Amino acid sequence: MNGKYYITTAIAYASGKPHIGNMYEIVLSDFIARFRRRQGLDVFFQTGTDEHGEKVETKAAAAGVTPKQFVDKVAGEIKGLWDLMNISYDKFIRTTDADHEAQVAEMFDKMLEQGDIYKGSYKGWYCTPCESFWTESQLVDGKCPDCGREVKLSEEEAYFFRMSAYADRLMKYYDEHPDFILPLSRKNEMVNNFLKPGLQDLCVSRSTFSWGVPVKSDPKHVVYVWLDALTNYITGLGYDCRGNCGEKFGKYWPADVHIVGKDIVRFHTIYWPIFLMSLGVPLPKQVFGHPWLLQDGGKMSKSKGNVLYADDLASVFGVDAVRYFLLSAVPYDNDGLVSWELVNETVNGELANVYGNLVNRTVAMTNQYLGGTLCNKGVTEAVDDDLKAVVTGVYEKVCAKVDAYRMSDALADIMAVFRRANKYIDETTPWVLARDESKRDRLATVLYNLAESIVIGSSMLACAMPAACGKALAEFGSEVRDYDKLGQFGLLPDGTRVTDKPEILFGRLKIKEVEEKVEEMNKAKAAAAAAPAETAKKEESAPEGTATLIDIAKFKEVSLRVGHILTAEKVEKADKLLKFTVRVGDEERTIVSGIAKYYTPEEMVGKQVVVVANLKPAKLRGIESQGMLLCAVTADSDVVIVSPEKPVPSGSEVC
Ligand code: MSP
């Protein structure tokens, strides 16, 4: 195969650490990218982080840092996690990259000039976590139809995109490209739920917060986070709506596929194509909306505390085992499940018992019976035909599955090779052949056939488990075989030496041992969290999902005091911020807090609050904030000040 292939993932919100469900998409895309490269395509694989929006602004203010400081830290962690999981991306884009931001402002401007965007005012139900406005009729039981959380009635002056003007063209594109949206069920959902009832114009600016790309001609508005985020797919290639788009854009656009989760198919198959039509840019070839990976026993949710992370799982099972699990656990269009037990079952049942065991037995027998040298002596029997048919037919099958995004089925096909090979060992009983000198050549042929099956299967499995399969191949003096040769049997050269120091590729663990390892891991994390200075610094603005157990000494490092609010006022040009003078014992401190949406200055004056008194000062909108007020943040993003249960002297310690 030759030609180019551009594949993208959704860009992860930089509001916190991505969980194992988010990681599924990245590993899925990585598998495809690796597979296409092996097929000979010139692949560009882009992923990254989505960094603007109200949620980040709120979290940064709550952490006492600027939004930029906040996203720099989180984006670094996300990239680190992708690297740990061996993701072979060609570009990691951040929506705070200067070239992306500049281009977003230009694109908005161009759409405005063309009349695709116009100014109006918006009244509707706003879901803060999803950053989406909804009409009354779109709500489900009065709640956000996407996430089920509380919404609030809001009105704002805003810019709108004339979606309706493009509805017919979009429908035509769907009709002419029947595979544009996969699985098909998701396409039907888009047509029936959104296109047929008539597309509403989309609000594409916000003025209630400022962490975003300002509209050039009207900077009190920032560009709607989805218009900003979706365009990463073209800005990452150097797209320029006013000038020369450069070589990468010319080469790789249109995208061959956008891999996204089922919840954001609407954004990618309705808004995104329409934005592109407005810009006069060709549409992507395909959008695959994958199902989700859910925590066994209920939805993964940070508030429930049942969130699993890829790095934790990898520290117990290894990176490749986690990658394999993710790919095998999620079917084509139904959600999959994850838990420590399920990963352990997969590692034991498939990786250790089927694959690892086959590799190990074949190497051991080659060393024991043939002095470590493989040679095809060509003494065949009928049973070989079935093995060879399975092995030589697998590449074609796997290609068809990869083309259809049926990755768990592709892995099952590869595993079927190893299962067949294990059965072949039982059928041919090499240990019996070894006892009979006259069967030496038959024995050599059997072990050669096994090694050849392993090399062919491992060459494909390497896209799921690059390191482990690389090791397995090396044990047979091999590397990943050219994919255009995977349909042939017998290419392993005679005289190939197997390793005389085989390694166990995947260890088996009892669930009790897994539990012990998890406990150890949690203890190690708690110890790291309790470590002084350096770790403390690291956690100053710990984003969501990084909370670990700490001991009392660590807690004591934080000085919490009761303060009394003397004055409160709004901060100019910062809708979210209030500035307070707070008396803490004998001192008066200036504290800036991102709670303007939840409290008026008037209702704050006179309140007793809990102040983090030994926080390093931070500048917010040019004002030095000398501490932080403690608030409770509810699951539906309400923010409530924490106060002593009855009045106490100012400066009292909270412990
Ligand atoms: N920032 C947006 C995407 C913008 S793309 C222009 C976003 N970010 S996200 O961090 O919330 O999600 C990133 C991806 O992870 C999305 O495709 C989402 O569907 C996917 N997943 C979120 N939870 C998931 C699971 N539990 N399982 C599988 N994928 C999951 O949406």
> For the segment 437-463, what is each residue's pLDDT rounded down to a tens digit?
999 999 999 999 999 999 999 999 999
Q: Is 299 in the pocket of ligand 1 (CB under 6 A)?
A: no
Helices 357-370 & 407-428 angle (0-180, nearest 10): 30
d(CA 383, ligand 1 centre) in Å? 47
- Higher-confidence position of 29 and 607: 29
pTM score over 0.85 = no
Tokens of residue 524, six digits: 């190690």
**Residues 297-354 pLDDT 10s:** 766 665 556 789 999 999 999 999 999 999 999 999 899 999 999 999 999 999 999 9
In angstroms, the CA 70 to CA 54 distance is 13
Stretch among 5-9, 42-46, 205-209 having the lowest mean pLDDT: 205-209
pLDDT of residue 648: 84
The ligand 1 atom at the shortest distance from the C-alpha of residue 12 is: 10
pLDDT of residue 543: 47
Please tell me what DSSP assigns to residue 194: I
Tokens of residue 417, six digits: 């090779």
Determine what percent of the chain is predicted with pLDDT higher than 90: 75
The structure tokens 């680190």 sit at 80
In angstroms, the CA 466 to CA 66 distance is 39
Contacts from 433-437 at CB under 8 Å and sequence distance 24+?
A: 434/365, 434/368, 434/369
pLDDT (average), residues 374-383: 98
Strands 42-50 and 4-9: what pairing? Answer: parallel
Give the gyration radius of the chain's Cα atoms: 29
Tokens of residue 386, six digits: 């079935």
d(CA 263, ligand 1 centre) in Å? 8
Q: Is 387 in the pocket of ligand 1 (CB under 6 A)?
A: no
Q: Residue 57: is its pLDDT beyond 50? A: yes
pLDDT of residue 305: 62
d(CA 233, ligand 1 centre) in Å? 15
pLDDT of residue 448: 98
**Of 447, 438, 565, which Cα lies nearest the Cα of 496?**
447
List beta partners, residue 497.
373
pLDDT (average), residues 401-430: 98
pLDDT of residue 192: 94
pLDDT of residue 536: 45
Q: Is 264 in the pocket of ligand 1 (CB under 6 A)?
A: yes
Tokens of residue 615, six digits: 């926080």
The ligand 1 atom at the shortest distance from the C-alpha of residue 264 is: 19
Q: Is 236 in the pocket of ligand 1 (CB under 6 A)?
A: no
**pLDDT class of 619 with cuts at 50, 70, 90:** confident
Question: Residue ranges of the alpha helices (H) in 207-318?
Answer: 225-230, 232-235, 246-252, 265-266, 272-279, 310-317
Strands 560-571 and 574-584: what pairing? Answer: antiparallel
What is the distance of C-alpha 160 from the center of its chain? 30
pLDDT (average), residues 74-102: 98
The ligand 1 atom at the shortest distance from the C-alpha of residue 260 is: 17
Q: Is 272 in the pocket of ligand 1 (CB under 6 A)?
A: no
Q: Provide the mean pLDDT of the chain.
A: 92
The ligand 1 atom at the shortest distance from the C-alpha of residue 259 is: 17
Name all domains of the chain by residue range, CATH numbers in brackets: 339-485 (1.10.730.10), 511-541 (no CATH), 552-641 (2.40.50.140)
The structure tokens 């694959």 sit at 355
**pLDDT class of 539 with cuts at 50, 70, 90:** very low
**pLDDT class of 548 with cuts at 50, 70, 90:** low
d(CA 12, ligand 1 centre) in Å? 6
- On whether the CB atoms of residues 361 and 502 are closer than 8 A, the answer is no
pLDDT (average), residues 130-156: 87
**Residues 344-366 pLDDT 10s:** 999 999 999 999 999 999 999 99
Q: Which of 8, 19, 20, 22 to mutate to test the pocket of ligand 1 (most atoms within 8 A of CB)?
A: 22
In angstroms, the CA 284 to CA 89 distance is 19
pLDDT of residue 365: 98
In angstroms, the CA 164 to CA 594 distance is 37
Max mean pLDDT range (1-15, 132-146, 545-559, 594-608)? 1-15
d(CA 624, ligand 1 centre) in Å? 36
- On whether the CB atoms of residues 538 and 555 are closer than 8 A, the answer is no
**Of 602, 593, 606, which Cα lies nearest the Cα of 640?**
593
d(CA 29, ligand 1 centre) in Å? 13
The ligand 1 atom at the shortest distance from the C-alpha of residue 10 is: 5
- Indicate which residue's Cα is closest to atom 5 of ligand 1: 10
pLDDT (average), residues 385-406: 98
In angstroms, the CA 32 to CA 37 distance is 9
- Indicate which residue's Cα is closest to atom 21 of ligand 1: 22
- Helices vs. strands in the chain: H and E counts, helices first: 24, 26
Q: Is 101 in the pocket of ligand 1 (CB under 6 A)?
A: no
Q: Is 653 in the pocket of ligand 1 (CB under 6 A)?
A: no
The ligand 1 atom at the shortest distance from the C-alpha of residue 335 is: 27
d(CA 22, ligand 1 centre) in Å? 6
Q: Residue 131: is its pLDDT beyond 80? A: no
The half-sphere exposure of 13 on its side-chain side, counting CA atoms within 13 A, is 18
Distance set, CA 390 to CA 38, 58, 110, 439 (Å): 21, 56, 56, 25
